[in-house]
């Protein structure tokens, strides 16, 4: 969810801005920059993410209540790069949408909180829960985290948005829109873990396939 035509309350704007800047600073300071710079394929993946996400987020049909809705793709970005770089990539995407006029400046911090911080946090929580399982396999990662984790991330974004903005949404329709999010992220993560596992930072052959180091 993004604010679309809505303008947030000033208190919500400043709170979202302060929270987002705090998380962004921590992300920049702790991001695995050396690992990123050491692998050309990861750099290519980062560039592709920065190109793709603005297009994905631009496809945002208006919903009743003035808000917009778009597929997020943040679960895939988080699993590939880790939460720090996911926040950086999401920030760059939001700034691109601001520059091209898709997002309004007054809604930028709230939009970023809804479509970046919340999905990244939920994805990392689902991944942590999956890693705590005593018995696990590749499908736990691909379907449990990639598919269902992305659906939960989108639902969390929508839920918080509804709590903050109280728009008049068609909730059954919104719930139906979570399946494409799950399919998109689940398919991408499944393909990447099979064909290019070396670029997926959060994937571990030892944990999910039992391969020796």
**How far is residue 178's CA from residue 208's CA, in Å, rounded to a whole number?**
26
Q: What is the pLDDT of residues 154-210, one digit of tens each?
A: 999 988 888 887 666 656 666 777 889 999 999 999 999 989 888 998 988 777 776
Q: What is the pLDDT of residues 34-85, one digit of tens each?
A: 989 888 999 999 999 999 999 999 887 666 666 777 889 999 999 999 999 9
Residue 53 in contact with residue 73, Cβ under 8 Å?
yes
DSSP for 159-176, please give it.
Answer: HHHHHHH-----HHHHHH
Interval 11-31 mean pLDDT: 96
Q: Is the pLDDT of residue 143 over 60?
A: yes
DSSP class of residue 213 equals: -
**How far is residue 130's CA from residue 80's CA, in Å, rounded to a whole number?**
16
**How far is residue 46's CA from residue 16's CA, in Å, rounded to a whole number?**
26
> In a 10 Å sphere around its CB, with 0-12 CB exposed, 13-18 middle and 19+ buried, how is residue 29 labelled?
exposed
Residue 211 in contact with residue 180, Cβ under 8 Å?
no
Q: Is the pLDDT of residue 9 over 50?
A: yes
Tokens of 151: 């659906």
Where does the pLDDT of residue 20 fall: very low under 50, low under 70, confident under 90, or very high at 90 and above? very high
What pLDDT does 53 receive? 95
What pLDDT does 213 receive? 46
Q: Is the pLDDT of residue 151 over 50?
A: yes
What pLDDT does 176 receive? 77
Tokens of 184: 């998109």
């Amino acid at each position: 969810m993004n604010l679309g035509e809505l303008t947030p309350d000033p208190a919500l704007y400043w709170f979202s801005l302060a929270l987002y800047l705090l998380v962004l600073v921590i992300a920049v300071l702790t991001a695995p920059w050396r690992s990123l710079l050491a692998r050309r394929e990861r750099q290519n993946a980062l560039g592709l993410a920065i190109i793709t996400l603005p297009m994905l987020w631009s496809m945002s049909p208006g919903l009743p209540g003035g808000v917009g809705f778009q597929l997020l793709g943040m679960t895939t970005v988080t699993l590939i790069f880790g939460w720090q770089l996911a926040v950086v990539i999401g920030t760059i995407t939001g700034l691109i949408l601001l520059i091209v006029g898709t997002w309004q400046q007054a809604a930028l911090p709230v939009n970023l909180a809804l479509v970046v911080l919340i999905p990244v946090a939920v994805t990392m929580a689902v991944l942590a829960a999956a890693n705590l399982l005593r018995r696990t396999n590749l499908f736990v990662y691909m379907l449990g985290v990639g598919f269902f984790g992305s659906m939960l991330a989108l639902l969390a974004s929508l839920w918080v948005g509804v709590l903050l903005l109280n728009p008049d949404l068609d909730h059954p329709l919104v719930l139906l829109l979570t399946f494409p999010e799950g399919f998109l992220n689940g398919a991408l993560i499944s393909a990447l873990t099979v064909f290019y596992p070396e670029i997926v930072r959060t994937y571990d052959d030892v944990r999910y396939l039992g391969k020796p180091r």
